[in-house]
Amino acid sequence: MKTVYCKKCGSVIDNESGQCTGCGKKYFRIRKLFSSKVLIWILVIACTGLAGCSYFWYTGYNYQLQQVIQLNEELAKNSDELKTAKSRLSNLSIRYSNLQTEYDKSIEKTLFLDTHIVFTTPSGNKYHSYDCYHLSGHSTYHWFKEDAESAGYEPCADCQ
């Protein structure tokens, strides 16, 4: 062991008792648990581990950051597509409503024509509805049903 001297009188301190041989002052020393070399190696290993963990965290962070950026770009693109789709849906809704109104009007017109308009052929004495198979391939005249009856036409047995 190393020789240690008293701070008070300069005499040698006994290694066993920790007491100055000159003045008798007692010194307490904490014994080293590790030598300097072991402590340095522990610090080097700890620093290397921290550096590795930091690098691992940094690369993971960068990867996640790139994913967030990519997802934000996709979100912006999808948001634009959603706005376009909503606009198109609104236009189609309006168009559907207009077509539904036209359809309802055409149903009214069709019902009127079905109940009040009939067709005759130049050679026949019966009146027919517009979809009767007797009319196919023949020229026809159209009449109000009441006028056809007053002119002497009778209803077709197949369609009326």
42 and 111 housed in the same domain: yes
pLDDT at 37 over 90: no
Kindly indicate the confidence band of residue 34, based on its pLDDT and cuts at 50, 70 and 90.
Answer: low
What does the mean pLDDT of the chain come to?
Answer: 89
Cα(71)–Cα(63) distance, integer angstroms: 12
pLDDT of residue 30: 58
Q: What is the pLDDT of residue 123?
A: 82
**One domain for residues 77 and 134:** yes
Give a yes or no: residue 160 inside a domain: no
25 or 31, which is more confident?
Answer: 25
List the domain range (segments joined by +) for residue 24: 1-31
Question: Can you tell me the distance from the alpha carbon of 3 to that of 33, in angstroms, rounded to the nearest whole number?
Answer: 19
Assess whether 150 and 129 both reside in one domain.
yes
What's the whole-number mean pLDDT along residues 87-116? 93
Q: How many domains does the chain have?
A: 2
Name the band, by pLDDT with cuts 50, 70 and 90, for residue 93: very high
**Pairing relationship of beta strands 141-144 and 117-120 according to DSSP bridges:** antiparallel
* Whether residues 11 and 57 fall in one domain: no
